Amino acid sequence: LVKQTLRHRPDWFCVGECRDGDTAAEMLKAMTSGHSSLTTVHAESARGGIAKLALMLALSESQLNLAVAHNLIAEGVDLMCHVVRDPRDGRRSISEIIEVAGFDGTQAVVNQIYRAADTRFGYSRVATFSPPLEDRLARLGLDLVGFYRACGAQEVVG
């Protein structure tokens, strides 16, 4: 379905869940070809999501080595959000947001944008988006000042 969908030139490309390397490879092809896209990956953290995606690519039919997989991820993925489920009431909340900010020759370089504080309703902003991504998000209409304010920003960290 991923291959067939790309032929229709969609505005948005959504894959419910990447569960294997072949789906991950096709999804990253879409992400690196200019399609706005999103998917889910089950992992213990946002960084773990990147590692799992790289492992899936290494185990795919094309058997990419991990450095090439991380480079593809760095080219195709802008943000990764980690969502957790509270076992007490079943509510889901964002625990972490990272920006995939580049590739260092071995692995994807990440910039942690947001991390939930230890308190139930607390927020902690760790850093700002990189200038290129911040510009793209602002052009898309994201109120970055409001986002940073909601995260409890006292000053710019990154």
Other Cβ atoms within 10 Å of 71 Cβ, number: 20
Which pair of structure tokens corresponds to residue 87? 């076992």
Specify whether the CB–CB gap between 135 and 107 falls below 8 A: no
pLDDT band of 131, cuts 50, 70, 90 = confident
Query: What is the value of pTM for the model shown?
Result: 0.76
Residue-level pLDDT at 3: 66
pLDDT band of 156, cuts 50, 70, 90 = very low
Distance CA 102, CA 71 (A): 8
The closest alpha carbon to 124, from 138, 112, 132, belongs to: 112
Residue-level pLDDT at 135: 86
Given CA atoms 157, 83, 41, 77 in this order, what sign does their dihedral have? negative
Model confidence over 28-46: pLDDT tens digits? Answer: 877 777 767 788 889 999 9
Which pair of structure tokens corresponds to residue 68? 């090439």
pLDDT at 123 over 80: no
Which pair of structure tokens corresponds to residue 115? 């991390």
pLDDT band of 151, cuts 50, 70, 90 = low
Specify whether the CB–CB gap between 106 and 67 falls below 8 A: yes
pLDDT at 92 over 60: yes
Distance CA 8, CA 111 (A): 34
Which pair of structure tokens corresponds to residue 120? 């139930």
- Of 121 and 102, more confident: 102
Residue-level pLDDT at 121: 54
Helix, coil or strand: residue 25: helix
